[in-house]
């Protein structure tokens, strides 16, 4: 299981990458592995504001449908439209081409409440 050291994580298996005043988000390698083959993604709406913990997107696999939660509060400024045609990109590259959305951060301090890579590795080892 890949856990990049330059990202932050949630206990519900989302990742967040700080990019200035924005955060790129997606689901972790652990999550995509648990879901198995992803067949559909319901992306958030650009311009919509979310609070930390709100349902941001829905990921459907051959096994189940799962909510993806906003790791921090913010407004969606970009979504990965490529996932509408190729949702399996999440399985192939969850930290690269499989990202879900970019949020303009509303509360930058919330990034400090997320898990670091070592904490996330311990969390998933349970």
State residue 126's pLDDT score.
80
| Residue 25 in domain | yes
Boundaries of domain holding 58:
8-105
| Residue 113 in domain | no
| Residue 89 in domain | yes
| Residue 33 in domain | yes
| Residue 124 in domain | no
Q: How far is CA 107 from CA 23, 27, 126, in A?
A: 11, 21, 30
| Residue 119 in domain | no
| Residue 125 in domain | no
Residue among 22, 29, 20, 4 at smallest CA distance from 71: 22
State residue 28's pLDDT score.
98
| Residue 2 in domain | no
Number of domains, the chain: 1
pLDDT, one tens digit for every residue, the chain (126 residues): 899 999 999 999 999 999 999 999 999 999 999 999 999 999 999 999 999 999 999 999 998 999 999 999 999 999 999 999 999 999 999 999 999 999 999 999 999 999 999 999 999 998
State the residue for tokens 């592995």: 33
Domain CATH code at residue 27: 2.40.50.100
State the residue for tokens 């996932």: 83
State residue 115's pLDDT score.
98
State residue 74's pLDDT score.
97
């Amino acid at each position: 299981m890949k856990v990049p050291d330059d990202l932050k994580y949630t206990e519900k298996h989302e990742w967040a990458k700080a990019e200035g005043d924005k955060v790129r988000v997606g689901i972790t390698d652990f999550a995509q592995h648990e879901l198995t083959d992803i067949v559909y993604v319901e992306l958030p709406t650009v311009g919509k504001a979310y609070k930390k913990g709100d349902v941001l997107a829905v990921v459907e696999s051959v096994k189940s449908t799962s909510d993806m939660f906003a790791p921090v509060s913010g407004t969606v400024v970009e979504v990965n439209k490529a996932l509408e045609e190729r949702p399996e990109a999440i399985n192939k590259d969850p930290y690269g081409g499989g990202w879900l959305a970019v949020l303009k951060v509303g509360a930058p301090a919330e990034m400090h409440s997320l898990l670091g890579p070592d904490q996330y590795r311990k969390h998933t080892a349970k």
